[in-house]
Amino acid sequence: MTQDELKKAAAWAALEFVKENTIVGVGTGSTVNHFIDALGTVKDTLVGAVSSSEASTARLKELGIEVFELNDIDALDVYIDGADEINAQNEMIKGGGAALTREKIVAAVAKQFVCIVDDTKLVDTLGEFPLPVEVIPMARSYVARELLKLGGDPVYRQGVVTDNGNVILDVYNLNITNAKQLETDINQIVGVVTNGLFAMRGADKVIIGTKNGPQIK
């Protein structure tokens, strides 16, 4: 099976976590795009969705799924999203598609975070994938210098502006042994909006696309 077929299998398996007559939290990325396609097949049973990016919002609307503003809802049962890396503690690196901040906000509201990944995303130690950090544009050089002090090698993601109007620094060469601490430390740097570590709020369930079918843990 190709990596995309594994993503698709994990994404469609996530439908079992979607309850009738609810609003579903929807993440961003190529794995989630498969999940949105799956949601389209059950759209008549849903109230609608809350989205973590302009790209996912457009795709949901194309399929006729109503998209609600997060500020207009009180609670969210489930949030379904992909990841760039995930470890055995269900801590993740996210933000390869620059959607990390809105993803972290929707994940914070949701009662349950279901992560959908192909099995290439499983790692023993987070950090081989460069850690995305969303930064206020005028703080970019300052934040980069502070990230160097934390032991990483930040690289400006040229040409990318987030849905929030900010920029991304991708931090290479981090060997992340304490993800919660690093998540907290990076968030303390003035000018950082969010970093792509999802450790303080990790996934509650993981659906892994494998050649033997989707596995839930």
Query: Residues in the site for ligand R5P, rule: CB under 6 A?
Result: 27-31, 81-84, 94-100, 103
Q: Distance between CA 131 and CA 6 in Å, rounded?
A: 23
Catalytic residue among 91, 103, 134, 183: 103
Residue 29 annotated as part of some ligand binding site: yes
**Per-residue b or e along 54-71, where b marks 16 or more CB atoms closer than 10 Å to that residue's CB:** ebbbebbeeeebebeebe
Nearest approach in angstroms of CB 93 to ligand R5P is: 8
Confirm or deny that 94 is annotated as ligand binding.
Answer: yes
Quick one: 148 or 172, whose CB is closer to ligand R5P? 172
Residue 83 labeled ligand binder:
yes
CB of 81 to ligand R5P, least distance (A): 5
Between 40 and 142, CB nearer to ligand R5P? 40
Question: Residue 122 or residue 142: which is nearer to ligand R5P going by CB?
Answer: 122
Task: Say if residue 121 carries a ligand binding annotation.
Answer: yes
Closest by CA position to 142, among listed 193, 184, 191: 191
Nearest residue (beta carbon) to ligand R5P = 29
- Burial degree of 51 (CB within 10 A; 0-12, 13-18, 19+): buried
Tell me whether residue 16 is one of the annotated catalytic residues. no
Q: Cα angle vertex 92, ends 86, 96, to 5°?
A: 100
Largest CA distance in the chain: 52
- Tokens for 130? 């460069």
158 is written with which tokens?
Answer: 């040229």
> Least distance in Å: CB of 176 to ligand R5P?
16
Query: Was 61 annotated as part of a binding site?
Result: no
CB of 53 to ligand R5P, least distance (A): 7
Cβ(112)–Cβ(14) below 8 Å: no
**Closer Cβ to ligand R5P, 84 or 146, answer by number:** 84
- DSSP classification of residue 130: P
In the block, residue with structure tokens 């975070």: 113
Among all residues, which ones are annotated catalytic?
103
Bind-site residues: 28-31, 81-84, 94-97, 121
Bind-site residues for substrate: 28-31, 81-84, 94-97, 121
